[in-house]
Structure 1
Amino acid sequence: MAIEWKLFADLAEYAGEKHVAVDVSAGDTVEDALEELLDEVPELEDRVLADGDLRSQINVLRNGTNVLVEEDGLETQLEGGDELALFPPVSGGA
């Protein structure tokens, strides 16, 4: 099955697009989908990972829910129709 990643802010710039579809199988996890994304768009790896681990300031959402806070982290299992998103740190405002 295909899962779509939405990329925001500079992550979309690194990838050259805002949406990237990756192939995953039943029972795969968010981590599996992230690995597929980084295989598909290796330009993202240095921005998303540090020493092989997800950078602490990167947020990963599954269907609008932060998997790192409200689900099983990167071990969250995927289901058909899921939509994933990566958000870099956001700052600014007045």
Structure 2
Amino acid sequence: MEWKLFADLAELAGEKRVAVDAGPGDTVGEALEALLATRPALEERVLDGSGELEDHVNLLRNGSNVFTQEDGLETELEEGDELALFPPVSGGSDRR
């Protein structure tokens, strides 16, 4: 599975695309954990003090916000899914 990272998240990770050890049957949350395990510099930027995804960070699967259009971090991955993580372009974001 591959993550696409945007803006300062790509800078923190050192690249715009990061492959992780996750695939069909795993959850978006497991894929996120795999990303943070390989790119620990992202953790402080994307997680809050309790280890939850910051409200201002957008997480998409195939262009859909997993928190408003799917089952959040419990969304199950399928073959060919595309994951993306990015901060808001302007202002704040209410992902829920």
Is the TM-score greater than 0.5?
A: yes
Q: Trace 1:17-56 onto structure 2 (pairs within 5 A).
A: 17-51=15-49, 52-56=51-55
State the SS of the aligned residue for 1:23: coil
Matched, 1:60 2:55: no
What TM-score do you get using the length of structure 1 for normalisation? 0.91
Name the counterpart of 1:70: 69
Alignment RMSD: 1.1
C-alpha distance in 2 between matches for 1:78 and 1:33 = 9
C-alpha distance in 2 between matches for 1:16 and 1:28 = 25
Q: Is the strand fraction higher in 1 or 2? A: 1
Shift in Å at residue 7 of structure 1?
0.2
Name the counterpart of 1:80: 79
Q: Report how many residues are paired.
A: 90
Shift in Å at residue 89 of structure 1?
1.9
C-alpha distance in 2 between matches for 1:24 and 1:45 = 18
- Letter of the structure 1 residue corresponding to residue 36 of structure 2: L
C-alpha distance in 2 between matches for 1:83 and 1:20 = 11
What TM-score do you get using the length of structure 2 for normalisation? 0.89
Contact 2:23 2:79 (8 Å CA) reproduced: no
Contact 2:60 2:85 (8 Å CA) reproduced: yes
C-alpha distance in 1 between matches for 2:24 and 2:77 = 7
State the SS of the aligned residue for 1:45: helix
Structure 2: runs of 5 or more not aligned: 92-96
State the SS of the aligned residue for 1:90: coil
- Letter of the structure 1 residue corresponding to residue 82 of structure 2: E
